[in-house]
Amino acid sequence: MKLVAILLLAVAPLAAASAATPTDADPVAAARAVQLANELRCLVCQNQSIAESNAELAVDLRRQIREQIAAGRSDDEIVDFMVSRYGDFVLYRPPFKATTLLLWIGPLLLVLAGFWTLARALRARRQAQAPPPLTPEERARAERLLGAREEP
């Protein structure tokens, strides 16, 4: 019984995905439509792509993508169509530009800051592990021993 439930749970996402599959006769166009829909965010349920979402808007936008593919538009043209209406927010891969600079290089800056901190901590530890300075008696003894050896 448990096994059946687990199997059902495993199959559920597949059933949901099939809702996004266009019914075009042309399999190449259908694959393009699904690929495009996977790259675009649904604004109604913001953590789902247009392909995953069952919101009405996502259904409409999938239809829009299929129609534009049928009309011979390129992928870039279709993406531009969406961006000009809904903004960069619809792109799961936002463009690299001034307003998204921090988004793109932020992680890199964090990693660099991490390495810098690590380097500082390691250096501090190495200094801490250096042998403690000699006491005057020890120094005198060391000098005596060394001096004794260096004398001709």
Partner 1 sequence: MNRFLIPLGIFVALAAFLFVGLSLNPREVPSPLVGKPAPAFRLTQLHAPEKQFGRDDMLGQVWLLNVWASWCAPCRDELPVLGELARTRTVPLVGFNYKDKPEEAKALLKAFGDPYLVSVSDPDGRVGIDYGVYGVPETFVIDRRGVIRQKHIGPVTHAVLEKKILPLVRELQQP
- Residues in the site for partner 1, rule: CB under 8 A? 43-44, 46, 56-57, 60-61, 64, 83-89
**CB-CB contact of 25 with 65 (8 Å):** no
CA pair distance 69, 24, nearest whole angstrom: 11
Minimum CB separation of residue 136 from partner 1 in Å reads: 32
Minimum CB separation of residue 81 from partner 1 in Å reads: 9
Nearer to partner 1, 29 or 44 (CB): 44
CA pair distance 73, 65, nearest whole angstrom: 9
| SS3 label, residue 40 | strand
Nearer to partner 1, 2 or 93 (CB): 93
Minimum CB separation of residue 30 from partner 1 in Å reads: 21
CA pair distance 130, 109, nearest whole angstrom: 32
| Exposure of 129 in the CB half-sphere (CA atoms within 13 A) | 6
Nearer to partner 1, 32 or 41 (CB): 41
Main-chain phi, psi angles of 49, to 5 degrees = -85, 170
Minimum CB separation of residue 61 from partner 1 in Å reads: 7
Nearer to partner 1, 56 or 150 (CB): 56
